[in-house]
Amino acid sequence: MESDSILVSWFNKLLNPSKWGNHLEDRDKRVEVEAILEKITSGLMADRQEINFLLSLTNQSEIELLFKAARKSRETNFGDEIFLYGFVYFSTYCRNNCIFCFYRSCNQASSRYRKTPAQVIETSVKLADSGVDLLDLTMGEDPYYFNSGNFEELVDLVASVKEKTVLPLMISPGLVPTSVIQGFSEVGVDWYACYQETHNRELFTKMRLNQDYDQRLKVKGYAHQLGMLAEEGLLVGVGETAGDLAYSFEVMDKIAADQVRVMSFIPQKGTPLENIQTGSSLRELLVIAVMRLLFPDRLIPASLDVDGIGGLKDRLNAGANVVTSIIPPEEGLMGVSQSTLDIDEGGRTVAGTIPILHDCGLQPAGKGNYSRWVENRKKRYITRNSKQEQEA
């Protein structure tokens, strides 16, 4: 395994803004932006160079053209309705050592907890009562389950949350065995989330140390085989190029990710990348907007976990249609990238979110509408799976 200092110097070399140079800088960019947006919104595929061009925009008025097109696409497909996700990070123990993550196993600065089943259920019920449309139950690859291989307790816990809340559920437990995903499916879990963060294999290897790229990608297809929905996620600001992102969109399309997420890298205390210099969240916003255009009928989160409640408006204006990382205050629960930001102040709540939706001319969709979207989307996999079974 490479030493931390070799990895840090590798990331420092990668974080070179010149990689984001625009190949069309001598041309009239505004006209070019309009032409590409026209092409995409008329249903034609943008090529990698065009996507690269959109992701490299720096001029505010050109960026606003892109965001406006993204908002229009959201309006066409989802009206003014936004879905709200409650986040329950119930175990911060992890056997892995991802270089970007605060909860990597060797980080002494990280706070560790494993909530009891009673605490998880209580928090989930509170979130459900507060008006969220879905509960995202997340943990690191907790050795308590992964070392013993005893996931029954976990599946039972998830089943209890389902029974008590009757809400759609997403589970983000890391790379669990397929039999466990089947267990989740059987107790009514709707979503399986498992992020690559990048589809550049070299970058993946440096970020998700000692993890298997292919296995991680393939498991999302397994969730689809069970009739579940799958979320894929990207991390930006870790040295990826615009070309890497364009390729990621192709992979997301190929695996038919039902929800596509992007978050900006935040350097984490106690990790080798703690002192890496990062930029603004602009790249994340550009990716949200481009994904909205490329995947008009998918769910795209505005995560409260990067810039807190203060960053929500920008993400909605870029075309996101889900607010994620709503966390109840004073329950001792953590976020992922921003482990405490705005949580105990009550900023990351449904009540804190709604005024911002209204400011943007948007409104919460409500449970019924979200459940309908999920059930409709699941039908495509259930129909496909039964067709495949008949043909076999």
Least Cα distance to 306 among 277, 351, 271, 265 occurs for 265
With contacts defined by CB under 6 A, name the span among 2-10, 100-108, 221-229, 324-332 that binds ligand SF4: 100-108
With contacts defined by CB under 6 A, name the span among 98-106, 265-273, 274-282, 373-381 that binds ligand SF4: 98-106
**From candidates 94, 167, 260, 318, binder to ligand SF4 by CB under 6 A:** 94
Closer of 142 and 284 to ligand SF4 (Cβ):
142
Q: Provide the 10 A C-beta neighbour count for residue 388.
A: 10
With contacts defined by CB under 6 A, name the span among 97-105, 124-132, 147-155, 343-351 that binds ligand SF4: 97-105
Maximum Cα interatomic distance, the chain, rounded to a whole number of Å: 61
Q: Which residues contact 364 (CB under 8 A, 6 or more apart)?
A: 81, 82, 83, 84, 131, 133, 350, 353, 354, 357
Residues 123-182 that bind ligand SF4 (CB under 6 A): 140-141, 174
Tokens 């948007």, located at residue:
362
Q: How far is the CB of 154 from ligand SF4 (least distance, A)?
A: 15
Least Cα distance to 268 among 140, 101, 141, 111 occurs for 101
Closer of 66 and 94 to ligand SF4 (Cβ):
94
Q: How far is the CB of 208 from ligand SF4 (least distance, A)?
A: 6
Q: How many residues bind ligand SF4 (CB under 6 A)?
A: 9
Q: How far is the CB of 188 from ligand SF4 (least distance, A)?
A: 24
Closer of 145 and 373 to ligand SF4 (Cβ):
145
Helix H or strand E segment including 355:
helix 350-359
For position 89 contacting ligand SF4 by CB under 6 A, the verdict is no
Q: What are phi and psi of 376, to 5 degrees?
A: -60, -45
Q: How far is the CB of 86 from ligand SF4 (least distance, A)?
A: 19
Q: How far is the CB of 140 from ligand SF4 (least distance, A)?
A: 3
Closer of 223 and 318 to ligand SF4 (Cβ):
223
Q: How far is the CB of 390 from ligand SF4 (least distance, A)?
A: 38
Q: How far is the CB of 216 from ligand SF4 (least distance, A)?
A: 10
Burial of residue 327 (number of CB atoms within 10 Å: 0-12, 13-18, 19+) = buried
**From candidates 87, 89, 103, 184, binder to ligand SF4 by CB under 6 A:** 103
For position 104 contacting ligand SF4 by CB under 6 A, the verdict is yes
| Rounded CA separation 217/237 (Å) | 21
Please check whether residue 94 is in contact with residue 141, taking contact to mean a CB–CB distance below 8 angstroms. yes
Closer of 69 and 101 to ligand SF4 (Cβ):
101
Burial of residue 126 (number of CB atoms within 10 Å: 0-12, 13-18, 19+) = middle
Task: List own/partner pairs for 110-115 with CB under 8 A and 24 or more apart.
Answer: 110/270, 111/334, 111/339, 113/332, 113/334, 114/90, 114/142, 114/144, 115/88, 115/90, 115/91, 115/333
Q: How far is the CB of 174 from ligand SF4 (least distance, A)?
A: 5
Q: Determine what percent of the chain falls in helix, strand and coil, rounding each to the nearest 5.
A: 50, 15, 40
| Rounded CA separation 221/219 (Å) | 5
Q: How far is the CB of 105 from ligand SF4 (least distance, A)?
A: 7
For position 101 contacting ligand SF4 by CB under 6 A, the verdict is yes
Closer of 98 and 287 to ligand SF4 (Cβ):
98
Give the interface with ligand SF4 as residue ranges (CB under 6 A): 94, 96, 98, 101, 103-104, 140-141, 174
